[in-house]
Amino acid sequence: MRVQFGAISECEPAGDPFNMAVKEFSAYFAGKLERFSVKLDLRGTAFQKRVWALLDTIPYGETRSYGELARRLGDVHLARAVGTANGANPVPIILPCHRVIGSNGQLTGYSGGLEHKQTLLRMETDYTGKILFNHGEDSPQ
């Protein structure tokens, strides 16, 4: 299969939010940015937006459980709904749904796959010096 794209000269210049996002992603992956500031125009239900706002409060290099986020929303029975809202997150990494784990400390659900979730968490803990994983194990403590 072969894919061709138009010449670069045919592309419109990227807007400022795009350039800011590119710079912020570069800084994030270099361990120099812990929280994104690029402006977002999120489309979702009122509940999804509440969950996504909570994601933005989880500190870099730390995790929270779905149940903990549900409690912060006022109903411990919303843990599965929190997981569903996480799955609908249109901007993973910017709104760090990879920082949400199961109540038993296990990595669960991530739109980019559990391997990528683990990689992001390891990267963040490497830069912060925080310990989320047992030596030689694939799950957080």
Active site residues: 97
| Closest to 23 (Cα-Cα) out of 37, 5, 42 | 37
What does the DSSP 8-state code read for residue 15? P
What does the DSSP 8-state code read for residue 101? E
- Spatial distance between the Cα atoms of 26 and 92, rounded to a whole number of angstroms: 15
- Spatial distance between the Cα atoms of 95 and 125, rounded to a whole number of angstroms: 17
Bridge partners (DSSP) listed for residue 92: 95
- Nearest 5°: CA angle at 87, between 43 and 100? 115
